[in-house]
Structure 1
Amino acid sequence: MRKIKNKILGSVILIVTLSLTAISILAYESFSSILEAQALKEDTIHLEQTNNQLNQLIDDVQKYAANMVNDELLLKFASKTEYPSVYDELSAYRDVVTQLTKFNVLRDYLQSSAIVRSDGRVFWSALYLDPYFEQLLLEDWFTDATANSVKSGFTAPHFIQDQGPKKVVTFFIRFDPEYGGMLLLNIDYSAFSDLFDYLSLSFDKVAWVGPRGSVMYNHGWADTTPPLPSAEEEGRLIVKQQDNAYQLTGRLDKTEWSVVTFTSKDRFYEWLGDIIKYWAVFVALCVALCFVMFLPIISSIVRPISQMSKAMKQVSMGNLQVSLTFRSNDELSVLGSGFQTMIGSLRRQMAEREEQERRNRKMSAELLFAQINPHFIYNTLNTVVYLARKGNREAIEEMVESFIGILQDAVHIGETGQYVAVEQEIELIDHYVRIQRYRYTERFRLEWETEEQAKPIRIPKSLIQPLVENAIFHGFAEKESQGLIRISVRLLGERIQIKVRDNGCGMATEIARAVEEGSLPSTRRPSGGMRRIGLRNIRERIDYLYGEAGRMTVQSREGQGTVITIELPASGPSD
Structure 2
Amino acid sequence: MSKIKNKILGSVILIVTLSVTTISALAYEQFSSILEAQALREDTIHLEQTTNQMNHLIDDVQKYAANMVNDELLQNFAEQLEYKSTYDELSAYRDVVIQLTKFNVLRDYLESSAIVRSDGKVFWSSLYVDPYFERLLQEDWYQKAINSNAKSGFTTPHIILDPDNRKIVSFFIRFDPQYGGVLLLNIDYSAFESLFQYLGQSFDQVAWIGPEHTFLYKQGISVEQPSDEMLTTDGQGISVIKHEKGYYMASAFEKSQWSVFTFTSKSRFHEWVGYILRYWAIFLALCLVLCFLLFLPIISNIIRPILQMTKAMKQVSMGNYNVQLSFRSNDELSVLKNGFEKMLADIQRQMDEKVAQERWQRKMSAELLFAQINPHFIYNTLNTVVYLARKKNFPAIEEMTESFIGILHDAVNIGDNGLYVTVQQEIEIINHFVRIQKYRYADRFELIWNVEEQAIDNAIPKSMIQPLVENSIFHGFAEKESIGHIEIIIRKRSGRLLISVRDDGCGMSKSKAQAIMDGTLPPVSRPSGGMKQIGLWNIRERIEYLYGQEGRLVIRSSEQGGTKVTVLLPSWNISAE
Report the TM-score, using the length of structure 2 for normalisation: 0.49
Report the TM-score, using the length of structure 1 for normalisation: 0.49
